């Protein structure tokens, strides 16, 4: 979606849109539009759109009103995003190629105008790469937004938000692609291509290098696939040289069959998005590099396929992790924690961070607990948890905190190794987090975000179409913006 700016609206545009506060229809609207809006019960509630037609210099103009609801400090920017998103949803396949957004006299500040544009941009993203037989009326037509009369500073505010949008879109792209297209090596190649010229530094560990480091847990997951695992490192060092980096670790299981503990066939196709945590980390790093964030941030993605060939890991196998701790693999479908534990050990030893946050589509139990409304949050620091909860609320990538305690931790003790990779049926998301906590070194603030229900949506949301949501990318960007810059 291209965005451009002009001082005044072009004469007689085909599609003109205005932003409307609830119960405050602008006084300069044509009478036909006012009466039409009132008879249609349009009041300007958040996300409401009314469309009418007016004559202008002998041409018919399609005039849309998008509601932002009542003014509220806490939800103001989110409401403005929803207004922009509602316009994108209505006109994406309308046959219109250009939408003129008239902000003259709107009273919006620059950051508020940029929020409208962000909603427009995010909701207009759709992955049509493999849809070859769309009917004409199904094809995306809207390609450009021309912003007229924007408040001073909007263009600069939009440049920052456009970088965030690119990051979210990259996350969605990685999650949406099928597993025969995105696998460990191609994930790396896609990142190399997208990060070129950004100033971010990319490095990759192959299986031999990981084996030398003792990453037996990650490699155990990968050993059943013909595609080698990778550990991808993306560095953005935009802060002070002396500042310790903040590290984000993403689970990147590019396809998860469950391994020998094979998943049921129904719904297994969804497991292409089991790399949603890694996708979120990669997208967030692209956003941070794109907007030149003044912070030292490192993103690490553990990339593997979990496949059930003759060389696959078996239930009952014992693996030695990079930390030296041993794990009895009870269930090969609890593979994400095996990938993450080695990645978490690696980043602590390699980068000496003060804060480590991991994101992972880790457990089905999290979807049972929270549905598709929140990601789960676990943390060893109340301060870090509060900051992530606040970032989730502000960005729209909402989190809900869960407990950690020794009572849960003992449930993963093994009689023949240091731990099992699963606990009993109950509290499955918590025991998974307890497993990861065993790899966090003293003095490191750590949080785990279980986003299993959030990276993919079966129906459209406020700022996304059905499919990949991009969840996590804005969470990370907002956390860094508020706490690290």
Q: What is the pLDDT along the chain (485 residues), one digit of tens a residue?
A: 899 999 998 888 999 999 999 999 999 999 999 999 999 999 999 999 999 999 888 889 999 999 999 877 789 999 999 999 999 999 999 999 999 999 999 999 999 999 999 999 999 999 999 999 999 999 999 999 999 999 999 999 999 999 999 999 999 999 999 999 999 999 999 999 999 999 999 999 999 999 999 999 999 999 999 999 999 999 999 999 999 999 999 999 999 999 999 999 999 999 999 999 999 999 999 999 999 999 999 999 999 999 999 999 999 999 999 999 999 999 999 999 999 999 999 999 999 999 999 999 999 999 999 999 999 999 999 999 999 999 999 999 999 999 999 999 999 999 999 999 999 999 999 999 999 999 999 999 999 999 999 999 999 999 999 999 999 999 999 999 999 99
DSSP H helical ranges for 47-130: 76-91, 110-123
Measure the CA–CA gap between 471 and 453, rounded to whole angstroms.
10
Contact 54, 37 (CB under 8 A): no
CATH number of 164-483: 3.40.630.10
- For residues 217 and 342, the answer to whether their CB atoms sit within 8 Å is yes
Convert 291-328 to b/e letters by CB count within 10 Å (16 or more is b).
bebebbbbbbbbbbbbbbeeebbeeebebbbbbebbbb
Number of H helices, E strands in the chain: 14, 19
**Is the alpha carbon torsion for 257, 261, 267, 270 positive or negative?**
negative
CA 17 to CA 58: how far, in whole Å? Answer: 19
d(CA 362, CA 342): 15
CB–CB of 468/127 below 8 Å?
A: yes
Provide CB contacts within 8 A for 280, sequence distance 6+. Answer: 171, 250, 359, 451, 455, 470, 471, 472, 473, 475, 476
Q: DSSP readout, 240-289?
A: -TTSPPEEEEEEEEEEE--TTSPPPSTTGGGGGGGGHHHHHHHHHHHHHH
Q: What is the pLDDT of residue 72?
A: 75
What digits encode the pLDDT tens for the residues 200-236? 999 999 999 999 999 999 999 999 999 999 999 999 9
pLDDT at 12: 86
* DSSP for 442-456, written as a single string: TT-EEEEEE-TTTSE
H/E run at residue 202: strand 201-205
Q: Which residues make Cβ contacts (< 8 Å) with residue 6, sequence separation at least 6?
A: 146, 147, 148
Distance CA 446, CA 340 (A): 13
Where in the chain are the domains?
A: 2-151, 164-483
Which pair of tokens denotes residue 410? Answer: 């003992």
* Per-residue confidence (pLDDT) for residue 74, from 0 to 100: 84
Say what the pLDDT of residue 475 is: 98
The tokens for 161 are 């938000």
Q: For residue 17, what is the enclosing H or E element? A: strand 15-20
Q: Which positions ≥6 away from 286 have C-beta within 8 Å?
A: 163, 166, 167, 170, 194, 195, 198, 200
Query: Do the domains 164-483 and 2-151 match in fold?
Result: no
Residues annotated as part of the active site? 263, 337
CATH code assigned to 2-151: 3.40.220.10
């Amino acid at each position: 979606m291209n965005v451009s700016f002009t001082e005044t609206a072009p004469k007689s545009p085909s599609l003109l849109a205005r932003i409307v506060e609830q119960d405050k229809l602008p006084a300069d609207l044509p009478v036909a539009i006012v009466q039409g809006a009132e008879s249609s019960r349009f009041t300007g509630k958040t996300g409401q759109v009314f469309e009418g037609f007016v004559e202008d210099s002998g041409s018919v103009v399609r005039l849309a009103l998008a509601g932002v609801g009542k003014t509220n400090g806490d939800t103001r920017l989110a409401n403005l995003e929803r207004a922009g998103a509602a316009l994108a949803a209505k006109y994406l396949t309308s046959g219109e190629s250009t939408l003129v957004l008239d902000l003259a006299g709107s009273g919006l500040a620059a950051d508020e105008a940029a929020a409208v544009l962000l909603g427009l941009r995010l909701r207009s993203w759709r992955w049509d790469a493999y849809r070859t037989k769309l009917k004409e009326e199904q094809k995306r037509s809207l390609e450009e937004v021309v912003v007229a009369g924007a408040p001073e500073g909007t263009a600069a505010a939009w440049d920052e938000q456009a970088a965030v949008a690119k990051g979210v879109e990259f996350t969605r792209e990685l999650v949406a692609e099928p597993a025969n297209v995105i696998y460990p090596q191609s994930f790396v190649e896609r990142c190399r291509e997208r990060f070129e010229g950004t100033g971010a530094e990319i490095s990759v560990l192959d299986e031999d290098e990981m084996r030398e480091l003792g990453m037996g847990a990650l490699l155990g997951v990968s050993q059943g696939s013909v595609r080698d695992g990778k550990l991808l490192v993306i560095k953005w060092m935009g802060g002070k040289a002396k500042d310790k980096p903040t590290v984000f670790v993403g689970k990147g299981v590019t396809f998860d069959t469950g391994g020998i503990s094979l998943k049921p066939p129904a719904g297994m196709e969804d497991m292409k998005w089991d790399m949603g945590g890694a996708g979120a980390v990669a997208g967030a790093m692209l956003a941070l590099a794109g907007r030149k964030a003044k912070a030292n941030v490192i993103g690490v993605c553990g990339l593997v396929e979990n496949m059930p060939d003759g060389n696959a890991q078996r239930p009952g196998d014992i693996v030695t992790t990079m930390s030296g701790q041993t794990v009895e693999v009870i269930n090969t479908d609890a593979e994400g924690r095996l990938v993450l534990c080695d990645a978490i050990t690696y980043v602590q030893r390699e980068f000496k961070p003060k804060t480590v946050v991991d994101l992972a589509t880790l457990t089905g139990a999290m979807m049972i607990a929270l549905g598709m409304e929140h990601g789960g949050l676990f943390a060893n620091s109340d301060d870090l948890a509060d900051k992530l909860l606040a970032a989730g609320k502000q960005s729209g990538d909402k989190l809900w905190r869960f407990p950690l305690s020794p009572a849960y931790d003992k449930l993963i003790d093994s009689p023949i190794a240091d731990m099992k990779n699963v606990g009993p049926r109950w509290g499955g998301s918590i025991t998974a987090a307890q497993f990861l906590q065993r790899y966090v070194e003293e003095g490191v603030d750590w949080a785990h975000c279980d986003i299993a229900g959030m990276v993919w949506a079966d129906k459209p949301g406020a700022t996304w179409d059905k499919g990949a949501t991009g969840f996590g990318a804005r969470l990370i960007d907002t956390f860094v913006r508020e706490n690290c810059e």
